[in-house]
Structure 1
Amino acid sequence: MTLIPQSVLSVDNQKHHIADGFQNYPLVPSPPSLGPGFYLNRIWSSFFLPEVPENHYLSEEQALNQFQRLKDKNTLTWIGQSTFLIKINGKTILTDPFFSDYAGPFSMGPKRFVKPGISMRNLPPIDVMLISHNHYDHLDEKFVEALPGKENIHVFVPLKLKSFFTERGYIHVHELDWNESFSIFDFQITSLPTVHYSGRGLSDKNQTLWCSWSIVTPSGKYYFAGDTAYSPTIFKQIGKNFNSFDLAMLTIGTYGNRKYGVNNHTTPEEAINIGIEIGATTFVGMHWGTIEMSDEPILEPAKRFKEAGEKAGLTVEQVWIMKIGETRLLPVTDGHKGNSSGGER
């Protein structure tokens, strides 16, 4: 493990550590204890899934054909929710794997209404897996247990989450605190702060850390936000430390729960602000249009994301509304001319 040079670390780097786990820092109000109305609404909603427009997703055959056609390029593929395949310099990175029908234990919890763009059996060999936190829609236990090639996969996790993978047969598990980095292949992967929380049950809230990730490569710099609320300081600091990113994957859905007092995810407008503050060139919406987790209409996050980008002066080419299963070429910036260009539409 290598640490980021001290000069780019916040003086408050350890203040997210507390005696019984972790907290957001700078301090933000803790997520409330959710009342019965919230849970009843989520259970009820799972019985009435939205009608999904056909132009929101590709069939798996279409997705695989597109992925194979671009297999030798640097690409981004949206599997759904916060799950991406990122092909960079011949290596494949998988983010926050969620492939199950439900985001919860025992076939319960928010229900998926669009199948994964590419199913597990058709995935390419995975070289690197990035985990932002342990919520069910970001860390799929069944998938983690069943994925082949565990002995070859380098898994990057926040603090206290390593055992989840080693107990399931993974060998190369790198557990990082905020602002720590690790170099693998020709990538430097860094864990960065977010505003969120963790937990998979009734008694483990905030026992493991949560984070976002940067991936710095010879051909580009990429940011994966995981889950986060907005912070007026964190993302500006990330932008100051890293100067710019060629592409940022940003949460744009699950803001409909704010009427229950829950503010753990950014709105599309806040996501655009985060992308601007970290210096992103290309903005990709994620964490929307996949599972029944919130009250906003299925396509509203994408519409608001596009409109917010336009209002901020971004071009259509800079704000990506991807179909589930779609693969696009990673963008080129002036500093990384060796990369594949554009974005296949």
Structure 2
Amino acid sequence: MYILFSLLGLLAVGGILFISFAPQFGAAAQGQSLERLQKSPQYRDGKFHNTSPTPMMDESPLLDKVKIFAKFLGGVEGSSPTDPLPMATLTKEDFLSDTSTTPKITWFGHSAVLLELDGKRIFADPMLGQRASPVSFIGSKRFSDQLPIKIEDLPPLDVVLLSHDHYDHLDHGTIKKLKEKTKHFFVPLGVAAHLVKWGVAPEKITELDWWETASYEGIFLAAAPARHFSGRSLTDRDRTLWCSWVLKGAQHSIYFGGDSGYDTHFKQIGEKYGPFDLTLLECGQYNEAWKYIHMMPEQTAQAFLDLKGKVLMPTHWGAFSLALHHWKEPIERLTKAAARQNIPVATPIIGQRWQVGRELPARPWWQPLN
């Protein structure tokens, strides 16, 4: 018994030390950044809050949590594809040789999207790692072993845009490889501390609260509300802010939703900044147990209408299994809901670079796959 308790104690101490010192967990805000976030209308009692009450799964009855955990352990049939997903390959020259200013979009799976607006390259939530996890051997593995282009081969980036600090949106390894080829980072309050710890120069980072705005070489940016949460360890829940983003160029506007449960903020954003030529909204990794922080696909369609969108491109699917549904279920439910309301939906394959305002990439490429 003494040996058992000693081993458990050593494991506990080792875990605490690992979380405290491993760089992938990031860092807590300090100095002026901490003072600024503490003045945010969203911040009270030591953490950020959503506008509407947002119950979390860990507040559910114990039996419900046990059932969900058991389902995760048992797995869900079809949660990951057995067939390889179609993918377009890219080279750096594909981007550098194109001098047109027509907005273009390239999806890297999940929520990682490379936007080209008025000649600027903006990478939103560039999670390009193989696992949505702080370690390489635990957590959901990316459906595809390869990316459309190696991180090292990406062209220079003007902006990296982050919606929040969860592992499926903010990846330590990816940022380490992008920091030298990225001119500026725009992030919600508190997230800068992670980037600084990973070697990003503080002067290259701008932190924004909800409804605050900035500009970058002619591009207008606004951090807008979302209904979600944050955290990278067991002790930092909601210590950083989460947000969505509004981007406006000379003639086109784009909305990037990040992660969010459905709420009234979509209508508020649509009234203030809509209409949007392209609306990027999550449609996957949902469950009734966490319905307040992730939308059901039918709610995604309604959020698009609230935002006054012109074209909907679904994200947060096609790369990782982070919920208890079939991997194709999100896009199937969304496309059906969109069809009922005559919503134009763009469904490019991973790596497909397409132009906003041209013919939509709308082939149901997922249908024949298992």
Instruction: Quickly name the TM-score band, shorter chain normalised.
Output: 0.7 to 0.9
**Correspondences of 1:53-202 after superposition (within 5 Å):** 53-54=83-84, 56-60=85-89, 63-64=90-91, 67-68=94-95, 71-73=98-100, 74-107=103-136, 108-114=138-144, 115-147=146-178, 149-150=180-181, 152-171=182-201, 172-202=204-234
Residue 235 of structure 1 is matched in structure 2 by 266
| Between 300-309 and 131-140, the greater mean CA deviation after superposition | 300-309
Per the normalisation by structure 1, the TM-score is: 0.83
Residue 6 of structure 1 is matched in structure 2 by none
CA distance in 1, matches of 2:105, 2:97: 10
What amino acid maps onto 1:324 in structure 2?
A: I
**Correspondences of 1:198-209 after superposition (within 5 Å):** 198-209=230-241
What amino acid maps onto 1:279 in structure 2?
A: K
What amino acid maps onto 1:140 in structure 2?
A: D
CA distance in 2, matches of 1:245, 1:96: 19
The one of 350, 354, 367 aligned to 1:328 = 354
Inter-CA distance 153–271: structure 2 relative to 1 (3 Å threshold): same
Inter-CA distance 323–26: structure 2 relative to 1 (3 Å threshold): same
What amino acid maps onto 2:276 in structure 1?
A: F
**Deviation of the 1:66 alpha carbon:** 10
CA distance in 2, matches of 1:21, 1:272: 31
Aligned 8 A contact 2:106 2:113 in 1: yes
**Deviation of the 1:301 alpha carbon:** 1.4
Residue 342 of structure 2 is matched in structure 1 by 313
**Deviation of the 1:65 alpha carbon:** 9.3
Aligned 8 A contact 2:88 2:352 in 1: no
| 1:273 pairs with 2:305 | no
Aligned 8 A contact 1:245 1:279 in 2: yes
Unmatched 5+ stretches in structure 2: 1-38, 363-370
**Deviation of the 1:148 alpha carbon:** 5.1
What amino acid maps onto 2:222 in structure 1?
A: T
**Deviation of the 1:164 alpha carbon:** 1.2
CA distance in 2, matches of 1:46, 1:146: 34
Inter-CA distance 30–42: structure 2 relative to 1 (3 Å threshold): closer
| 3-state SS in 2 of match to 1:281 | coil
CA distance in 2, matches of 1:217, 1:153: 18
Inter-CA distance 28–49: structure 2 relative to 1 (3 Å threshold): closer
CA distance in 2, matches of 1:262, 1:254: 10
Unmatched 5+ stretches in structure 1: 1-12, 332-340
Residue 368 of structure 2 is matched in structure 1 by none
The Cα RMSD (Å) is 2.6
Question: How many residue pairs are counted as aligned between the two chains?
Answer: 314
Higher Rg: 2
**Correspondences of 1:2-17 after superposition (within 5 Å):** 15-17=41-43
> Which whole-Å deviations, capped at 9, do the CAs of 1:6-28 have from their partners, x for residues lacking one?
xxxxxxx9542212110110333
| Identical pairs, percent | 30
**Deviation of the 1:116 alpha carbon:** 3.0
CA distance in 2, matches of 1:281, 1:273: 13
| Between 32-41 and 285-294, the greater mean CA deviation after superposition | 32-41
**Deviation of the 1:159 alpha carbon:** 0.6
Q: Which has the higher helix share?
A: 2
Residue 254 of structure 2 is matched in structure 1 by 222
Inter-CA distance 311–65: structure 2 relative to 1 (3 Å threshold): farther
| 3-state SS in 1 of match to 2:245 | strand
Residue 283 of structure 2 is matched in structure 1 by 252
> Which whole-Å deviations, capped at 9, do the CAs of 1:289-317 have from their partners, x for residues lacking one?
21111122112211221111110122xxx
Q: Which has the higher strand share?
A: 1
